Structure 1
Amino acid sequence: MNAAQLDHTAKVLAEMLTFKQPSDAVLSAYFREHKKLGRQDRHEIAETAFAALRHYQKISTALRRPHAQPRKAALAALVLGRSTNISQIKDLLDEEEETEFLGNLKARKTEFSDGLNTAAELPQWLVEQLQQHWSKEEILAFGRSINQPAPLDIRVNTLKGKRDKVLPLLQAESADAEATPYSPWGIRLKNKIALNKHELFLDGTLEVQDEGSQLLALLVGAKRGEIIVDFCAGAGGKTLAVGAQMANKGRIYAFDIAEKRLANLKPRMTRAGLTNIHPERISSEHDTRIARLTGKADRVLVDAPCSGLGTLRRNPDLKYRQSAETVANLLEQQHSILDAASKLVKPQGRLVYATCSVLPEENELQVERFLSEHPEFELVNGAELLQSLKIDLDTGKYLRLNSGEHQTDGFFAAVLQRKD
């Protein structure tokens, strides 16, 4: 890292470490304002800024109000998060105090392992939440797994290509490209490429989608000619996967409360060659326009609004923008959405509830509460469903994915069926 890059990183962290906005939004806005920054500059700034987020617990232990001392926070990120030796950056240190600060930081590594929140790089509120269900060793393993950068997972659009044909093309460009172990549609790249400019992305053959998200689409199990509802469609990653699964036959209703997210879905549909998706903005899960589908849907996917704590490899700032209070509010929202969505499922139809969270309160406990209130539904064994699709993955009756064991984001899914 050079002096100019360090200065830019400090300016980014001054805003990013207030946690008032998502970190990727802060970074994107900064790069838009500084168009002359080259590719290598952007890489160094982004990597160091995200290293500061991943090691914020240790940095904030050693540095009071890190956002107010962003240059020191950037230097700490280089040493703690990017394995930089102090001797490598001695030319960047313009004060003796900075050298002393970094020396003390390295000397405190043993001290950092004493507290569970610093050892696991998790805020105290989240540690307390997890301690209700997990052992100390499980919390440490989780913290370490989400502190690694995520690879780039992509999905081959089966309307436009086959994985066994696309994979060799990508391997010719990036030797680390490999088939995902579980999803039959997935390809994983450990070193990210500029996919948005790639020919196979531009023609709709490839879409960015984590392997865990691809497995959720497979659990929906949509068939040609069916009526499908994606109740919280967002920008439509799973909607697109389900549409391809149906070979563009049938009808998918993509509901969401955010017009902007649905607007992002429309060009993606066009690029993917899908015409069976019908995006529609709703005001809430109680919107009267939903009632026309009561008891008519073959399959309903509820990818519920959640804490996002399964995506911390990609969004390390989320754990500081969430709290016990925001999670409590989400629990009531999830319960209400699941209840409303269930009314659309026809007899023998399938309801899939999913989150990208690792908290049992948002996952298993939410499903158990729903089943206790809705005896007309029963749980379908997720592992058996995957086995029937020749996917060798057994996490029990629920799909539970974690970054450490499965190299995916943290995902949860429950498959429910309405009785005849």
Structure 2
Amino acid sequence: MDENQTNMDGINNAGDKQEDTPVSVPVEKIIKETEAGAIRETDSPELIEKAKEVQQEQESQETPAAKPRRERPKGDTIYSDSRTLAVKILTRVERTDSYLEKLIDYEISNENLNDYDKSLLNEICHGVVRWMRRLDWFLNGFYRGQWEKCMPEIKNTLRVALYQILFLNKIPDYAAVNEATEFVKKISTQKHADVVNGLLRTIIRTKEDLVYPTREIDEIKYLGIMQSHPNWMVKRWIQRFGFEDAEKLAESNNKRPILTVRINTLRARKDEFLNLLTEKNIVYRFCKYSNMFITLRLMSKIYLDEFFIKGYYTVQDESAGLASILLAPKESELVLDMCAAPGGKSTHMAQMLNNKGKIIAVDKYDAKIRVMKQNAERLGATCIEFVQDDASDFHNEVVTTTRFDKILLDAPCSGLGVLSKKPDIRWKREVEDIINLAKYQKKLLENAAKYLKPGGAIVYSTCTIEPEENIEVVKAFLAEHPEFKIDNAGNYVSQDLVNAEGCIETFPHRHSTDGSFAVRLVKEG
């Protein structure tokens, strides 16, 4: 491939990280992001202010339907369309530990973007992050110089263009090249624009003959590059599942996520709601494991949909509903939801209780409490009381003076079961994060046990597939608490979802859901 390399000297930045070096996020910040949202301790003051602004806007209204439209500041003409805004977002994600979804939401709120541009921006940003390692494999092969030292803005311009060339069939190659070239002219020099133009055109000419890595030399690196995951991650999965199953899992993580919603019978009868969808020619299908969950096809602007605003349904993956089903709350019972935000499981349990009974939903941050209250109001969930407190060390008397019939602990985790929805997580995690998070999860489970009545049940759940955060946390807890035992999940859900230990364990490539874990722990009476 040397003969096709293009000279990129002069547009390097020696301060950038290596191609395969993950962005490590301390466990405290992972927990904070899980619980609190956009604002992160290592963000610049400017980014923090923007994140606060976005968060306040999200908190002020339940849906974007009622949001005021944001206009782009005058003079901000460099980042003016979906492709250039994608470069802006990707550069910020790369330079900081900001999360992709928050930055996309901020830019999509701008008045200047039409619906097509918003959709393209979302597709490019998620696609580039999802396939970043494979894109970098090719760009590094054609790059003369040290790819890891390339200026971030130019690096991401090339990624955006190459993603369109390799993955988006409806966009002509020449359009992707021209847009990239013109943008580099604005942010750099004509010389650099010419180099970008030449590199991309060289790739297009040899597109059918691009050289891929081979499994025979190094199967971990091969799978990591071909399916765009970090080596440490695919190595764990190969050791645990074998190569073929690990490959299927990685492939599932790279699929565009399917929109799954939960029908809310507190606001509408199930048959009536389905009839309304049919009348509007909205295609749906039932999920496999719960008949209250359906997938919707080709539905855009969901948060502006009248049925969503009326509370007839809410967005929730089927796997997320399994924890509530496993807990099986009954009317008149007192239930504690320890780490409740964003509130999907609390409102699901309220629906299961038909608003008879009481749910105490706890979160550490007042902003999240306000959002959960708005969600509950939209969905008609009236049996929930919201409490601001720290689930690892309760102080609020509403919790500390009470013993509960059922407790749901949906613990902060690494999120490695939801990589299709949140592709940037794969580049922000390291194996050490899993180990450190497990320590925090054990602390939460210990605290949960203090507030459970004899004969009561705790459901411990996560949205990760890693055993250190799942079954190993449970085994460590049971070793210290012989008064608890596992109640086999097969008594509550399909046996297809239940592993050898009697726990729910879902995988994207096996169950067509997010990856998740849930176990029901019963305390002797």
Q: TM-score, length-normalised on structure 2?
A: 0.74
1:25 and 2:107 equivalent?
A: no
1:35 and 2:111 equivalent?
A: yes
CA distance in 2, matches of 1:217, 1:380: 14
Q: Which residue number corresponds to residue 163 of structure 2?
A: 77
Q: Which residue number corresponds to residue 375 of structure 2?
A: 268
Q: Which residue number corresponds to residue 336 of structure 1?
A: 443
Q: Which residue number corresponds to residue 504 of structure 2?
A: 399
Matched residue type, 2:486: L
Q: Which residue number corresponds to residue 309 of structure 1?
A: 416
CA distance in 1, matches of 2:462, 2:100: 21
Give the match's secondary structure for 1:255. strand
**Paired residues of 2:362 and 2:391 also in contact (CA < 8 A):** no
Please show how residues 249-264 of structure 1 align to structure 2 within 5 Å: 249-264=356-371
CA change 1:76–1:4 in 2 (3 A) is same
**Paired residues of 1:310 and 1:409 also in contact (CA < 8 A):** yes
Cα displacement string for residues 2-28 of structure 1 (whole angstroms, at most 9, x for unaligned residues):
x95433332332223345211011112
Cα displacement string for residues 310-334 of structure 1 (whole angstroms, at most 9, x for unaligned residues):
1111100011112222222211100
Q: Which residue number corresponds to residue 409 of structure 1?
A: 514
Cα displacement string for residues 56-105 of structure 1 (whole angstroms, at most 9, x for unaligned residues):
11122233247441111101211333346646756556423221144556
Please show how residues 103-118 of structure 1 align to structure 2 within 5 Å: 103=205, 107-108=209-210, 110-111=212-213, 115-118=222-225
Cα displacement string for residues 132-162 of structure 1 (whole angstroms, at most 9, x for unaligned residues):
4231222211110010011111111122223
CA distance in 1, matches of 2:214, 2:336: 48
CA distance in 2, matches of 1:238, 1:181: 19
CA distance in 2, matches of 1:295, 1:376: 20
Please show how residues 16-415 of structure 1 align to structure 2 within 5 Å: 16-18=93-95, 20-32=97-109, 34-63=110-139, 64-65=147-148, 67-68=152-153, 69-83=155-169, 86=173, 89=176, 92=179, 94=181, 95-103=197-205, 107-108=209-210, 110-111=212-213, 115-289=222-396, 292-293=399-400, 296-386=403-493, 391=494, 393-396=496-499, 397-415=502-520
In structure 1, the gaps of 5 or more residues are none
How far the C-alpha of 1:257 sits from its partner, in A, is 1.4
In structure 2, the gaps of 5 or more residues are 1-79, 140-146, 182-196
CA distance in 2, matches of 1:257, 1:76: 42
**Paired residues of 1:55 and 1:81 also in contact (CA < 8 A):** no
CA change 1:74–1:369 in 2 (3 A) is same
CA distance in 2, matches of 1:90, 1:257: 47
Matched residue type, 1:395: V
Cα displacement string for residues 37-69 of structure 1 (whole angstroms, at most 9, x for unaligned residues):
100011112101111011011122233247441
Deviates more, 1:3-12 or 1:229-238: 3-12
CA distance in 2, matches of 1:117, 1:383: 35
CA distance in 2, matches of 1:7, 1:158: 43
**Paired residues of 1:230 and 1:254 also in contact (CA < 8 A):** yes
How far the C-alpha of 1:282 sits from its partner, in A, is 0.9
CA change 1:72–1:283 in 2 (3 A) is same
CA distance in 2, matches of 1:322, 1:361: 14
Cα displacement string for residues 168-211 of structure 1 (whole angstroms, at most 9, x for unaligned residues):
32233344311222112112113233221222211222111111
CA change 1:345–1:284 in 2 (3 A) is closer
Cα displacement string for residues 226-269 of structure 1 (whole angstroms, at most 9, x for unaligned residues):
00000110121000000111111111111111222211101111
Cα displacement string for residues 241-300 of structure 1 (whole angstroms, at most 9, x for unaligned residues):
001111111111111112222111011111122221111111341123368557721110
Q: Which has the higher contact order (CA 8 A, sep 6+)?
A: 2
CA distance in 2, matches of 1:82, 1:361: 38
CA change 1:236–1:342 in 2 (3 A) is same
CA change 1:147–1:162 in 2 (3 A) is same
Matched residue type, 1:413: A
Give the match's secondary structure for 1:288. coil
Matched residue type, 2:255: Q
Deviates more, 1:321-330 or 1:139-148: 321-330
CA change 1:284–1:394 in 2 (3 A) is closer
**Paired residues of 1:295 and 1:343 also in contact (CA < 8 A):** no
Q: Which residue number corresponds to residue 41 of structure 2?
A: none
CA distance in 2, matches of 1:171, 1:124: 45
Give the match's secondary structure for 1:155. strand
Give the match's secondary structure for 2:468. coil
CA distance in 2, matches of 1:27, 1:402: 27
Give the match's secondary structure for 1:111. coil
How far the C-alpha of 1:305 sits from its partner, in A, is 0.4
Superposed CA RMSD: 2.4
Give the match's secondary structure for 2:237. helix
Deviates more, 1:187-196 or 1:342-351: 187-196
CA distance in 2, matches of 1:352, 1:294: 21
